[in-house]
A = this chain, B = another copy of it.
Amino acid sequence: MKILVIGASGTIGKKVIKELGREHDLICAGRNGSDISVDITSQDSIKNMYEQVGKIDAVVNAAGGANFSPLTELTPEKNEKGIQSKLKGQVNLVLLGLDYVNNNGSFTLTTGIMMDDPILQGASAAMANGGVKAFVKSASIEMPRGIRINSVSPNAVQESWDRLRDYFPGFEPVPAGRVAIAFKKSVYGAQTGQNYEVY
């Protein structure tokens, strides 16, 4: 199986690579230090990536961000990162990638716990997560050629806890390796339209 992993050098991406296994042909993409350089906020960059990669069996995305900001300081401009990166970046990976995915292949996107269990400063990220989750559920019923689509919704991860603990009081962080297992279920399983919560 030929699998394209975007955001491969991130905290979760690295564990996904490990979990998906060396018996498969993994192509790592990301903003830096990967086989292929891609910026998911740019349609041209996404198109260029797919042209380089060619036909694949699975697209796994662990990239995408949003600004943290107190709601009263959240301007439309600050909200734009979540729109362009975490939301549209991921949706466009699907819309622009459909023709590159083989029959019965799959897309796996990333959402996050903040849409279900909100935190201070998290409204922009929650918005993006909720948009991706709903897109996945709806798109799943009309994917062509048996292609599946799911998302994985991680809790804050232990590996980033020093940086995140003040934002997530009372949360129990999970190992990034547990999050990676959910990606495995999406890629090698047969379900579609799901949002796998790793909380």
Contacts and interface: CB of A to CB of B under 8 A. Distances in A.
12 contacts: A43-B76, A71-B98, A71-B143, A72-B98, A115-B137, A115-B138, A118-B140, A120-B142, A125-B138, A126-B135, A127-B134, A131-B131
Interface residues of A, number: 45
Given A142-B71, A144-B72, A130 B134 contact: yes
B75 A95 contact: yes
A129 B120 contact: no
Contacts of A122: 138
Given A115-B134, A126-B134, 18 more contacts: A43-B76, A71-B143, A71-B144, A72-B144, A75-B95, A76-B91, A76-B95, A83-B83, A87-B127, A123-B138, A123-B139, A123-B142, A127-B135, A127-B138, A130-B131, A130-B133, A130-B134, A130-B135
A92 interface: yes
A95 to B, nearest CB: 6
Copies of chain A in the complex: 2
Contacts of A132: 127, 130
A126 B123 CA distance: 18
Interface string A50-74: 0000000000000000000011101
A120 B133 contact: no
A23 to B, nearest CB: 31
